[in-house]
């Protein structure tokens, strides 16, 4: 269910961006290249939404073939945090899904009711001219069609409706109406439905006037007569909407000379390129999917023993073998990294609820690694026993596509440290290790990446305890000073 709601959210974001761009360009494009080219701008919406449904980019990271199941989330159940999330999150998702379905049902019912009203008006001979039907569209006219319109006006009115059928406009309007029902909560979906109809009529007018250049006056008079009796049609094509502005705009375009064939060809090529670019941009905006690819097991070698340099233990990525607040412990081969080395510590809310620290204690976890692209990641956050709303420290990413998340659970003098590449600590990208205070260990993620972690503990200060009673402040990722 959460996946379906995520897809719906992505589609609405793409729809909103495409509608905004179309509304920005429709008038300038119409003025330069004509109504038919401007109507083509609405192809931005289906292109962007279709791109959101395509498979996302895949980032593969190697996973050792012999890797055993990780203990990444074993401690979550023990502390009870996972149970709490499982109890609250599904109920919210079910409520949102029920609200969306209820709103869609109401919108669909209103659509059917309006269509039924128009059908009754057609049977009574009061509706039209319009095009109705999807599989077999047909033109409907009122009973007084021959009395209300002159023969010349009748020809242009019927030509207008036949143009709608040739351009498959009834199918377009049905798809727009259904999209409006599915996205009833998005105001831009209703903006799309209104202005697409206007541009559709303008494009149809331009094509009919190009075919009947001597019938401009008759065309304008027919518009005025139809405007007085127009009935909205949800599924189909009808003449002007009952408002003065679209009618004035349509009649005004009849008096202008349309662009030449070269201008229309240039505008059409530009719109096609813009639609393609919008689809590519929407697809690129989707987050990449991280996939663990199996790595063939490496057979043991029988050559000569490794040299002393090769057999030396691997050093942490940032050259740290121990992190402590005691300057006396700093010496050769060790570096002292006190709090605030990268600037003033900040409050971070991400994944804070996963940590559990004894009252009166402050546990600091320094974690370092390299992402699959080789970019160093550092997360240095301190969890407090007085609250679990935020942690204090910094996060360094160096513009990486990844972010390193950590959590800690204190059990006496031992610390269960968990590190992962997402705040939900999913099993695929998460690992855990148990360490003592001041001890450095390496967490091997299922993907084969390694994270060096070091926990330290100290008493919580009176200021930190008092600060915990106030509201938490959300801070974004900082870019720290260089070493």
Model pTM score = 0.57
258 DSSP assignment: P
Asked whether 48 and 15 are in contact (CB, 8 A), the reply is yes
Residues 6+ positions from 69 with CB-CB distance below 8 Å: 427
pLDDT by residue (tens digit) across 250-274? Answer: 777 777 777 888 999 999 999 999 9
Pick from 462, 325, 306: nearest CA to 380: 325
How many residues are given for the chain? 483
Asked whether 200 and 128 are in contact (CB, 8 A), the reply is no
> Can you tell me the distance from the alpha carbon of 157 to that of 226, in angstroms, rounded to the nearest whole number?
9
Sign (positive or negative) of CA dihedral 457, 463, 464, 466? positive
> Can you tell me the distance from the alpha carbon of 443 to that of 406, in angstroms, rounded to the nearest whole number?
11
pLDDT by residue (tens digit) across 413-431? Answer: 899 999 988 888 888 789 9
What pLDDT, on a 0 to 100 scale, did the predictor assign at position 97?
87
What pLDDT, on a 0 to 100 scale, did the predictor assign at position 419?
92
What pLDDT, on a 0 to 100 scale, did the predictor assign at position 323?
42
pLDDT by residue (tens digit) across 192-242? Answer: 999 999 999 899 989 998 888 888 888 888 887 776 555 667 777 765 455
64 sits in which H/E element: strand 58-64
Ranges of residues in the chain with a pLDDT under 50 are: 65-88, 240, 244, 298, 300-304, 306-326, 333-336, 339-342, 472-483
Query: Mean pLDDT across the chain, nearest whole number?
Result: 78
Pick from 457, 379, 380, 361: nearest CA to 422: 379
For 429-465, the three-class secondary structure string (H helix, E strand, C coil) is HEEEEEEECCCCEEEECCCCCEEEEEEEEEECCHHHH
Residues 6+ positions from 445 with CB-CB distance below 8 Å: 70, 419, 420, 421, 429, 430, 431, 451
Residues 6+ positions from 116 with CB-CB distance below 8 Å: none
> Can you tell me the distance from the alpha carbon of 191 to that of 267, in angstroms, rounded to the nearest whole number?
24
User: Quick one: 224 exposed, middle or buried, by C-beta within 10 A (0-12, 13-18, 19+)?
Assistant: exposed
Residues 6+ positions from 289 with CB-CB distance below 8 Å: 55, 56, 57, 58, 59
406 DSSP assignment: E
Residues 6+ positions from 313 with CB-CB distance below 8 Å: none
């Amino acid at each position: 269910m959460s996946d379906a709601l995520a897809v719906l959210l992505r589609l609405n974001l793409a729809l909103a961006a495409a509608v905004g761009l179309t509304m920005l360009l429709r008038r300038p494009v119409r003025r330069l290249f004509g109504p038919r080219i401007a109507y083509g701008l609405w192809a931005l919406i289906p292109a962007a939404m279709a791109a959101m449904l395509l498979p996302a980019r895949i980032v593969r990271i190697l996973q050792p073939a012999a890797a055993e199941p990780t203990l990444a989330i074993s401690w979550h159940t023990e502390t009870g945090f996972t149970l709490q999330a499982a109890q609250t999150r599904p109920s919210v998702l079910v409520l949102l899904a029920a609200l969306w379905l209820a709103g869609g049902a109401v919108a669909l019912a209103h659509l059917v009711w309006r269509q039924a009203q128009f059908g009754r008006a057609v049977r009574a001979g009061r509706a039209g001219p319009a095009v109705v039907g999807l599989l077999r569209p047909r033109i409907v006219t009122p009973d007084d069609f021959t009395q209300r319109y002159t023969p010349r006006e009748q020809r242009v009115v019927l030509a207008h409706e036949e143009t709608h059928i040739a351009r498959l406009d009834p199918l377009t309007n049905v798809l727009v109406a259904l999209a409006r029902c599915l996205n009833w909560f998005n105001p831009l979906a209703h903006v799309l439905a209104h202005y697409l109809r206007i541009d559709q009529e303008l494009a149809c007018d331009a094509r009919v006037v190009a075919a009947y250049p001597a019938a401009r006056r008759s065309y304008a008079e027919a518009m005025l007569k139809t405007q007085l009796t127009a009935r909205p049609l949800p599924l189909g094509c009808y003449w002007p909407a009952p408002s003065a502005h679209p009618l004035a705009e349509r009649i005004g375009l009849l008096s202008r000379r349309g662009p030449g064939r070269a201008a229309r060809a240039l505008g059409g090529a530009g719109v096609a390129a813009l639609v393609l670019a919008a689809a590519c941009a929407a697809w690129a905006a989707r987050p990449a999917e991280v996939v663990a690819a199996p790595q063939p097991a490496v057979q043991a070698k029988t050559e000569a023993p490794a040299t002393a340099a090769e057999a030396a233990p691997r050093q942490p990525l940032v050259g740290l073998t121990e992190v402590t607040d005691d300057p006396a412990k700093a010496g050769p081969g060790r570096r002292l990294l006190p709090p605030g080395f990268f600037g003033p510590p900040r409050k971070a809310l991400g994944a804070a609820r996963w940590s559990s620290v004894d009252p009166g204690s402050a546990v600091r976890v320094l974690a370092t690694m390299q992402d699959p692209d080789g970019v160093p990641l550092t997360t240095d956050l301190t969890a407090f026993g007085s609250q679990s709303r935020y942690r204090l420290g910094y996060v360094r990413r160096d513009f990486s596509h990844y972010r390193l998340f950590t959590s800690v659970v204190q059990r006496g003098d031992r610390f269960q440290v968990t590190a992962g590449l997402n705040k939900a600590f999913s099993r695929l990208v998460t690992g855990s290790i148990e360490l003592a205070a001041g001890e450095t260990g390496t967490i091997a993620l299922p993907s084969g990446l390694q994270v060096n972690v070091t926990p330290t503990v100290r008493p919580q200060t009176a200021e930190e305890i008092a600060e915990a009673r106030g509201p938490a402040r959300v801070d974004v990722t900082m870019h720290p000073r260089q070493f």
